[in-house]
Structure 1
């Protein structure tokens, strides 16, 4: 729905299913009831997630028309999409393969362009659309600096080619869309500082060379093209895990003219790590209840001197739980945003409040999407019927924004 501070919805990657039929069935089953509770009178947006196979199905003009008719009949619209997970996202071991195929591949480029073609058909007239995506690749796939740098350049080249296509959409059809890069733990772009450095030191210089030649535009126009069509997806959970200061990052992005395409409203797990070994063991045991095999649950630990230790997954952190230089853990596990007190653990809900207060007072994007995709793997104590959970999350966000 459209609030004073932007379009608010939830990401349909919370629903399982990989074919378009599966996706559409889940939307038809859940969305009307959610809308009735959240936005009964006005239109409500959908944050659409499509797998690669679903995107090939929905590219069919007949399928698109059926969906558009359903959207119209249900007073709904699509304004943002999640193009990060390419394949099976629920009933498989996802882990680092959520980045595969990465931005060094033709397959990732083709999938993303397919999503933009679909979004262009679904966007209401005059509305800007965005698609979030992987932060280039998974950094641990590249064991040397040389391999990592080459992968980053190849990925950047492919992203520039996406910007070229989005420039053409705007010029030829008047449709404005942007690709929203989503930093996350162990991504090739992991932090706000890494994203800004990549944007300024690699993306813009390469784009000036490539786009000025391919589009026959000036280098300054090529830079403007990039700043319009390549944005940051601000996943609050991911920035909170890295102990980043939201106000500082947002101020830097604003000063540099780098746009934020979407806020993904999400919460991570956190806990102080006490000196007492027994208390520390109890907290580690509480974290272990979230150690499930589907997704990566990276942990970032903060030492007393404020330096950070990064663990690739929760088991590695659990094995080091008696490291007494550490005084806090934050873990990548999207928990419902309305839940702050989780027994011995807490969530990073306060980070969401901080970001949304900034957005409410000085909006920096028009797209707001709650993303708690872990419903199927949540501990039973946190589960409620999926539609009721989504409704409660959206109402919690609305209360802050309004």
Structure 2
């Protein structure tokens, strides 16, 4: 979806397709028909944005084949879909039965990560709409924090210098600028805005910057206005925002049984207490655990925020909550002023398949309607800040009021446990 900011710029809002497991061209096209088309129809919009995830093998194939890139763009256009951003964080197999720490490999000390990211930039340059100002690719914040030493830092620096040069070459060849955003995440070398400012401040701001995931920002217990000011002072542009919310518990001891229902085997759910915001090391085990089950075993003191992306429109059942207040404060700081602080926004709830059983969509149609409800929520938050839909979408129109083609009416297709308005 496109929205118009008061400064006249176009703000792109879409959803990230890393929630789907497809890892080849045929699978990508199938997921467009299974999910993206029903999402667009449910929203009543003429144009739907996708934050496309391409696994490394298909990215390499497309980067080597201009005709294949043109065919993919034609398939997107035919379906009323557009791509201005790619998710380059997971390298492959992101919806495997167990992902956990594998998502951080290969990291930025390796040539594989560099090649993958430049492949994505080359692909994106040919997928961009003609009127898009630029493209963006999100990537991991260098590496997981262990092991990391001066040798790893030097190897990563060489890769980032080559990345800058490679992005400049893509722009020379295609005329389309593509920026890469490093995404601070709990447990990684760059977890907080402070670490980003310390480790990434000398990057080329025309090519490289930050992908700000709002669930990660909340888990770091950062205040959005201060975090954004810190990034600005370091000369780090926010090239992309992941519009996401994390799981929160005010009293984890009392909420232990409820929290236990969110423990699952696929993804890491790093858990942080408020003390991490003031610690020299935000991953200090006094305030942090690398997974939710470990946090429950350690009985970390104080309120918790858990790296578990929860559907924006459907907060967890009490006593648990989500970090929507952080999301709203960050969007207001970025987009509520006279100029837009970022123009690429992705809803990135990749955890639909591992939600507690009572909240998990049971069919493809239910998943599509849940994604549509999240996008409607995000769109309406932006409209509240003064942005104007520019693509025919109707603010405040609940997607469940619309039937998905080929499926039962939405009020029967979506269970109330998904929290979609009926």
Q: Report the TM-score, using the length of structure 2 for normalisation.
A: 0.82
RMSD: 1.9
What's the counterpart of residue 256 of structure 2?
284
SS at match of 2:255: helix
**Preserved CA contact (<8 Å) 2:122 2:170:** no
What's the counterpart of residue 317 of structure 1?
295
Corresponding residue to 2:330 among 341, 355, 365: 355
**Preserved CA contact (<8 Å) 1:260 1:365:** yes
Counterpart-to-counterpart distance in 2, 1:34 and 1:303: 40
Closer/same/farther in 2, CA of residues 62 and 28 from structure 1, 3 Å limit: farther
Mapping of residues 248-327 of structure 1, within 5 Å:
248-273=226-251, 280=253, 282-303=254-275, 309-321=287-299, 326-327=301-302
Structure 1 residue 375: deviation in Å?
A: 0.8
SS at match of 1:386: helix
What's the counterpart of residue 152 of structure 1?
153
**Preserved CA contact (<8 Å) 2:38 2:369:** no
Structure 1 residue 253: deviation in Å?
A: 2.1
Is 1:121 equivalent to 2:91 in the alignment? Answer: no
Counterpart-to-counterpart distance in 2, 1:173 and 1:9: 24
CA deviation digits over 1:252-288, x for unaligned, max 9? 22234321010101111111127xxxxx2x4112111
What's the counterpart of residue 3 of structure 1?
3
Corresponding residue to 1:100 among 82, 105, 114: 105
Counterpart-to-counterpart distance in 1, 2:298 and 2:241: 33
SS at match of 1:262: strand
What's the counterpart of residue 188 of structure 1?
189
**Preserved CA contact (<8 Å) 2:220 2:277:** no
Structure 1 residue 340: deviation in Å?
A: 2.8
What's the counterpart of residue 351 of structure 2?
374
CA deviation digits over 1:16-58, x for unaligned, max 9? 22223222211222111211232533x3221100111221333
Corresponding residue to 2:320 among 345, 362, 371: 345
**Preserved CA contact (<8 Å) 2:91 2:106:** yes
What's the counterpart of residue 393 of structure 2?
none
User: How many residues were matched structurally?
Assistant: 364
Structure 1 residue 14: deviation in Å?
A: 0.9
**Preserved CA contact (<8 Å) 1:50 1:82:** yes
**Preserved CA contact (<8 Å) 1:32 1:74:** yes
SS at match of 2:163: helix
**Preserved CA contact (<8 Å) 1:126 1:175:** no
Q: Which runs of 5+ in 1 are unaligned?
A: 205-225, 275-279
Higher helix share: 1
Counterpart-to-counterpart distance in 2, 1:266 and 1:110: 28
Counterpart-to-counterpart distance in 1, 2:44 and 2:158: 41
Q: Which runs of 5+ in 2 are unaligned?
A: 6-10, 280-285, 384-422
Counterpart-to-counterpart distance in 2, 1:61 and 1:247: 42
CA deviation digits over 1:224-257, x for unaligned, max 9? xx11100100000001001001101112222343
CA deviation digits over 1:346-402, x for unaligned, max 9? 111111111122233132110010000011111122224110110100001111111
What's the counterpart of residue 336 of structure 1?
311
**Preserved CA contact (<8 Å) 1:339 1:347:** no
**Preserved CA contact (<8 Å) 2:145 2:188:** yes
What's the counterpart of residue 73 of structure 1?
78
**Preserved CA contact (<8 Å) 2:194 2:230:** no
